Amino acid sequence: MRVVSLVPSLTETIARSAPPGTLVGATDWCTRPADLDVTRVGGTKNPKIERILALAPDLVIANEEENRPQDLAALREAGVEVLVTEVRDVPQAFRELARVLRACGVGVRPRWLDAAEDAWPMPAAPRVTAVVPIWRRPWMVVGRDTFAGDVLSRLGVDHLYAGHAERYPCVPLEELRAAAPDVVVLPDEPYRFTAEDGPEAFPGLPCALVSGRHLTWYGPSLAEAPRVLGAALRAALR
């Protein structure tokens, strides 16, 4: 089986659990595992179709949010099978991970997947409110029906744009400040918020700098995400 992954979290999943040699290509943004040695095929939004086809994959793994429909259509028109995942909450992530692994020839459910499912609580109490920027210039935040929003909900965090009409709305900074959340959650991807780049925009509000891999990736990182994210949130709210 020859597989190309266009989704960083699924690249990590396949590299960890599929037979050696299964994964033959991945995007430039696929950073896990750290020693990944496969052909790079461009970005998630601008993959090199010719480079993918040259690898003669049996299967390309994609995601409806991360990858463009026109790129997936081009691959299908060239005769390549494309599996597209859709992940809007934590339970769906586990179902999609199992589906991807089966499609990649993994016959035995990996132990890390069971451990990850066991690690996730039902939505917790007490509740706190948050805004969750994912970009600046312009400011964009997590909105309705998102995986990151469900992750936070299960950790006791209600983000204030969960009812917005858009999944990732642009919101003026003044409005974000005026919303007066209990905490501002600043992940390090897709925009790389840091202690020097992000918190200064929200004077007087607690800011939690969190790992984007643990907030938005679905794969082996799910096993440790509740602990890692929970610690960052507790530190910000002290």
- Asked whether the beta carbons of 161 and 141 are under 8 A apart, the reply is yes
Q: The tokens of 36 are what?
A: 């990944």
- Asked whether the beta carbons of 66 and 146 are under 8 A apart, the reply is no
For the chain, which domains are there?
3-109 (3.40.50.1980), 128-237 (3.40.50.1980)
- Site of tokens 């965090």: 157
Burial of 157 (0-12, 13-18, 19+ CB in 10 A): buried
CA distance 218 to 9: 6
- pLDDT (0 to 100) of residue 125: 65
- Asked whether the beta carbons of 62 and 83 are under 8 A apart, the reply is yes
Mean pLDDT for the chain overall: 96
- Site of tokens 């799910």: 222
Q: Is the pLDDT of residue 123 over 90?
A: no
- Asked whether the beta carbons of 62 and 72 are under 8 A apart, the reply is yes
* 58-78 per-position pLDDT tens digit: 999 999 999 999 999 999 999
- pLDDT (0 to 100) of residue 122: 74
Please work out, in degrees rounded to the nearest 5, the angle formed at the alpha carbon of residue 217 by the alpha carbons of 51 and 64.
55
Radius of gyration of the chain (CA): 18
* 12-48 per-position pLDDT tens digit: 999 999 999 999 999 999 999 999 999 999 999 999 9
Residue 77: CB atoms within 10 Å = 9
Q: Which residues contact 135 (CB under 8 A, 6 or more apart)?
A: 190, 191
Kindly state the average pLDDT of the residues 82-109: 96
The three-state DSSP-derived secondary structure of the chain is CCEEECCHHHHHHHHHHCCCCCEEEECCCCCCCCCCCCEECECCCCECHHHHHHCCCCEEEEECCCCCHHHHHHHHHCCCCEEEECCCCHHHHHHHHHHHHHHCCCCCCCHHHHHHHHHCCCCCCCCEEEECEEECCCCEECCCCCHHHHHHHHCCEEECCCCCCCCCCECCHHHHHHCCCCEEEEECCCCCCECCECHHHCCCCCEEEECHHHHHCCCHHHHCHHHHHHHHHHHHHC
* 133-184 per-position pLDDT tens digit: 999 999 999 999 999 999 999 999 999 999 999 999 999 999 999 999 999 9
